[in-house]
Structures are given as C-alpha cells and as structure tokens.
A and B are shown apart, each in its own frame.
Chain A
Amino acid sequence: MSLDFKYGFDDFFRDETYCDDFTYRNSPAAIRRFPFPFDRDDYMYSVNMEPHVAGRKGSVFEHTFDVDEHYLSEMRDRARVLASDPLRCQSLPHMTLAGWDLLELIMETKAREYPQWFSLAKDGNRWHWINRPLGIDQKFTFLDESTLPYGPMEYISRQTQGDFTLQDEREGTLWVDAGMVTTQADWSLDFNIGMNFHEWHAPVPLAHEKGIFDRALKFLMKLQQGSPVRRYNWTMTVNPLLDTAPETYPDWGHMRTALTPKNMGHMMHLRVELQTLYRLPRSNAICFDIRAYLGKFEELVTVPKWGRRLHRVVRDLHPDLAAYKGFLRNRDEMTQWLSQYDDGQPTSPGWWPED
C-alpha cells in the first residue's frame, strides 16, 4: 500500500517548483487574495487571535482549509522534503488518536467545502475518501492504522497545505508531541518534539518579557471544540523556499547574500503564516495548522496600499525582530527598494487591498 499521487495540473493548479529553478509565482488573482498581514503601518507582537470563521468570499478566509492554485506543487514539494528527511514527520506513541481526529476534521471539512475536488463517504467506520486533484481513491477503516499507507496524521497532511503540529494537554500546559513540518520558518520539529509551550518558544525575543506566551497559553487552554481561532505571523524568505528548515540551512542560508537592488523584487518574499488552532474531539489535543503563503515583493507592490505599508513596516521594525526573522542583513536594501513604492500618502486601516 502506498500513496502515489497523480497530479492533476490544469488551468487552476499550477505546475511550479520551490527549489532549484524556483518557478513559483502568484497569478494576478492570487496576488489580490494574498493574506497581507499588516493592518497598520507598524508592527509589534500581540496576541492577535480571532475566531476562525468564514470570511470574505474569494479570500483565504472563505474556507476552513484554503486550497489554492499552489496546492499540487506544494504537495509535491512536501513529498520531496520527506523523501530526503523522514524526521520532518514524527508522532509520539500517545498521539495516534489525535492523528485520527485531524484526519476526520480535514476530510469532513474539505468534502463539505470543496465537493468538486474531495469526497468522503461513510458506512460506519468504513470510509471512502476521494481526492481528485491528487488522483487518490482510498477505502479504509477509520481508527484502524493498518488500512492506510501511513499513520493518520501523515496520511492526511501529505494531502493538505500547511504544517501541522498536534499538542497534548497535561500538567497545565501544551506539549508538541506530533507534527508534519516541511514548510517552516527555521525551527526543527525533530529538536522541539516533546517540549512544552514555553520551552518550544524559548528562542523568540522580546515576547516572553511582554507576557505574550503566558497570555497565549491561557487563551489556548480554553479553546473549545468547534470554535477554532486564527492569527497571522510573518517573516521574510529569499527565493520561494517553503522549506527553510534549520536542518537544511547550509543549503539555503547563502541565498540571503545573493540579493541585489536588481533582483530584490523577484527574489525577496514576504512569508505569511496563517495559523489556525482547533480543539480535537476524542484526544482533547490541539491542532496547530501553520499555512505559509509566499508573496514576491514585485507582486505585493502592485497593490499600492501594500507597497506603502510594507515599506514603513520594514523600515521601522525593532532590530531584534529583524534579526530573529533573519533579514537584518538585508533590511537597508529592502527598505531602499520598497521606498520607490511609498509616496507618503496615508493608508487606510485594515489589511484588505483597499477599504
């Protein structure tokens, strides 16, 4: 039993790469729906969580799990990363039930929200899953691992954009005890697995002192099934690399030194993480979905409001944050390039292209 994809690339699902020749780009429609994360002209940490409810039609908030034009290429990139490093997907033995919870959540939701692409039929615990874009037709027994080619978390997350971690709740905190992590901003699942909430956030500057993590943990411990929440996080990535793992840093770190004023618009990407959190029903675990969106600077500045705002945020960011996000080295050049798109006009509140 294996999970062989038959990629259905077409007019919507783009055939593109996140390594080597880096053919990834956003269509004009994808630029318009890009989740631009700055609702004002400056940035500092906050516990910026809100209910994960259906949002504006066409936006990344329209559906629970956004499936976009990059879906198939992203899944192909995940398979490539896992083939080179299987440690990117791990689950401690007590987390299998949470994996089934996740599989159920994703299959039920996608079949309901995207019936043209996914379907799920149930006869008791005998389930039939169809994923048309990836060419999958799988009959299996829910809660019986022997009927799937991978454990439940790995099976479903190989077919779903976004990294996933599953947190067990005990001793008054959350423990990152399972995960599928191939599109991360420089953190290692293999190193962090088994850590509690404060431990895995240890390297983040400034936020501990501001009490961000104490408050975020309190908030998350009260998370209820059926009421997911979301927030944004962001960083900068040179080249459209989904996989910026510490494991492979010697392979991609040098790309940061290749930026010039000429290639800035094409090579530098705003990397936005749409993070959503779900309480899972049987395991009482918390699912953390970290969905990465990459937008080229040259794409983002086609929206005048975003060009003005991105310039101001990058220019004024606290240097500790620029260092943690890995772009202190290039910040001056980035600011210089972006300044062409900032005419000093005021920007409207909120993150939508124009309001």
Chain B
Amino acid sequence: MISRPVYGVLEPRPGAVHLIVADGEGAKAVADLVSKDPSILHKSHILYTAGPNGTDQWDSINALGAKQAQKAASIPTLLFRLARVLQDAPMGAQVYLTGTEGLMGQAERDVMALGFPHADIQKEHRGSTMRRVQCVHCKGITENVKTDPFPCSHCGLHLFVRDHYSRRLAAFQGVNIDAEEKGHIPPAVERFK
C-alpha cells in the first residue's frame, strides 16, 4: 500500500538531543536503540505510555536511566507534553518513534507540524497492528480498530477500512460498506491485532 508509512529499525544518529516517543511493546525497541549507543542516554528525553492492548513496560523504560523520562496516562496526554517539549527542540534534535501505528502517526503529525521533514523522523513498528481510522462520512476517528468492517464509534455507520492513509490525520480511511445495499454487512473479520 503506497500511502502507508514505511517503518524501519531505530538507529542512533548524532544529535544535540534525542527525543524518544514509545508505547506498549515499543519499550523493547527503545532498549535496543540505547544498547547500540548508550551515550545517547544522557541527552535523551523519553515519553512513554501503555499500549492499546494493555502492554505496560514502563519499568524497563524507567530503568534505562535517560536524562528525562515520563509515563503518560494515554496517547492524548503524551501528546500534550510532546507539544511543549518540541518547542525547545534545537536544530540537530533527533526524533525516534516506536510502538503502534496510532501513536507513531499522531506523534509524527505533531513533529511535522513544526517543520521536521517526515523522512527525518525514525519510526519502528512494535506491538499491536490495530488501526486508527477516520470515518469519511462524519469525520470521527475510531481508535484501535481490530475488525473489518467495524461500526464507527461516532455515527454508527458500518465501515470498511480502505487501504489509504493520511499522514496529516494520522489515520486510515473508513468508508460505509452497505451504502449500496443497506443492511448487507459482511461478518466482521479480525484483520488487525
């Protein structure tokens, strides 16, 4: 799928500061990153929250000994702090995102809004593949979509997940599946875990 972001493996790069954003199983990717160059730790600021599937590895993040680290209660509360931290990010700051697509997409959106080219933001996917989907009809976003189709959490229409991703919205596109024949809704299949 062409509009979907490409995820790689986090690699330490020289930088004035290292801003690391992770959720759930992303904690392991952060540990792998740091193990490649432990010297980045004293210039690192880590923002972490539990994954949508409940995975919470805050203890391993906290034990790394980064210059600053915070556990946020949720992705939205993590993004509040990220917005403030980004205001002070100097030229040469390195940005690392890891964990679920929803977390990485929203953090990338906020970082890009400050002028970072998306190609300079490193991303590594870990953990859940559940999707963040925007209903193209009511514009509401449903988090942690597991099945296709699924009911929009705002307007209730049954949506299929089109393979089309917007970086600006950090979301896939959901389109009504029974618009042509009302009530003809195929059984939901678990596509994202």
Contact with B along A186-227 (1 / 0, CB 8 A): 001011111100111111000010000000000000000000
**Apart from A203-B164, A249-B137, what 13 extra A-B contacts exist at CB < 8 Å?**
A171-B117, A191-B169, A193-B168, A194-B166, A194-B167, A195-B168, A199-B167, A202-B163, A203-B3, A203-B163, A246-B137, A247-B136, A249-B179
Asked if residues B179 and A257 are in contact (CB atoms below 8 Å), the reply is: no
Chain B residues with CB under 8 A of A195: 3, 166-168
B-facing residues in A105-158 (Cβ within 8 Å): none
B-facing residues in A253-273 (Cβ within 8 Å): 253-254, 256-257
A sample of 11 cross-chain residue pairs with beta-carbon separation below 8 angstroms, ordered by A number, consists of A191-B166, A194-B168, A195-B3, A195-B168, A198-B2, A201-B2, A203-B3, A208-B2, A248-B137, A250-B176, A254-B182
Does A318 belong to the interface (CB within 8 Å)?
no
Does A329 belong to the interface (CB within 8 Å)?
yes
Closest Cβ of chain B: how far from A86's Cβ, in Å?
Answer: 12
Q: Which of B157, B173, B182 contacts A191 (CB 8 A)?
A: B173
Contact with A along B1-19 (1 / 0, CB 8 A): 1111000000000000000
Given contacts A246-B175, A247-B136, contact A257 B2 (CB under 8 A): no
Asked if residues B180 and A203 are in contact (CB atoms below 8 Å), the reply is: no
Chain B residues with CB under 8 A of A250: 137, 157, 176, 179
> By DSSP majority rule, is chain A's interface helix, strand, loop, or mixed?
helix
Interface magnitude class on chain B: 20 to 34
- Going nearest first, the 7 A-B pairs with the smallest beta carbon separation are A253-B179, A202-B3, A194-B168, A202-B2, A199-B3, A253-B180, A246-B136
Interface residues of B (CB under 8 A from A): 1-4, 117, 119, 134, 136-137, 139, 157, 162-169, 173, 175-176, 179-182
* Bound Cα distance from A249 to B182, whole angstroms: 12
Asked if residues B180 and A329 are in contact (CB atoms below 8 Å), the reply is: yes
Closest Cβ of chain A: how far from B148's Cβ, in Å?
Answer: 15
> By DSSP majority rule, is chain B's interface helix, strand, loop, or mixed?
loop
Closest Cβ of chain B: how far from A114's Cβ, in Å?
Answer: 37
Chain B residues with CB under 8 A of A194: 166-168
Chain B residues with CB under 8 A of A201: 2
- Smallest CB gap from A252: residue in B: B179
- Smallest CB gap from A186: residue in B: B175
Chain A residues with CB under 8 A of B179: 249-250, 252-254
* Bound Cα distance from A262 to B119, whole angstroms: 55
Asked if residues B180 and A191 are in contact (CB atoms below 8 Å), the reply is: no
Interface centre among B137, B157, B165 (most CB of A within 10 A): B137
Chain A residues with CB under 8 A of B4: 202
Q: Which of B2, B117, B169, B175 contacts A199 (CB 8 A)?
A: B2
